[in-house]
Amino acid sequence: MSITDLLSADDIAAALQECQDPDTFEPQKFFQTSGLSKMSASQVKDVFRFIDNDQSGYLDEHELKFFLQKFESGARELTESETKSLMAAADNDGDGKIGAEEFQEMVHA
């Protein structure tokens, strides 16, 4: 499965363009431009499973660092502050990881 099976390549490219410089990643803006925020809850969870490298059912800080690269292999890594900000935006139960439900809630917030 490829991310472009779920999202348009043009929308992904536009979303990545908006945050190509370090410390410019804004999750809600990225979700809107990429088309993620328009997807159904089950479709967002499909994207979550694609991002979840180790298929643990959770995204940890290490996986979040490479978040943009899951959409385009040549994309940059998130900075430490962007990674921590993304974690804080979604980790509702404070366990240091993001579950599929938390991810979907963040995307649709």
Asked if residue 97 belongs to a known ligand binding site, the reply is: yes
Asked if residue 21 belongs to a known ligand binding site, the reply is: no
Cα 61 from Cα 55, distance rounded (Å): 14
Q: Would you state the structure tokens that stand for residue 90, as one six-digit string?
A: 């979604």
Asked if residue 95 belongs to a known ligand binding site, the reply is: yes
Asked if residue 91 belongs to a known ligand binding site, the reply is: yes
Q: Would you state the structure tokens that stand for residue 78, as one six-digit string?
A: 């998130």
Asked if residue 8 belongs to a known ligand binding site, the reply is: no
Burial 19-32 (b: 16+ CB within 10 A, else e): beeeeebebeebbb
Asked if residue 93 belongs to a known ligand binding site, the reply is: yes
Burial 36-60 (b: 16+ CB within 10 A, else e): bbebeeebbbebbebbbeeeeebbb
Asked if residue 56 belongs to a known ligand binding site, the reply is: yes
Asked if residue 52 belongs to a known ligand binding site, the reply is: yes
Detail the residues annotated as belonging to a binding site for Ca(2+). Answer: 52, 54, 56, 58, 63, 91, 93, 95, 97, 102
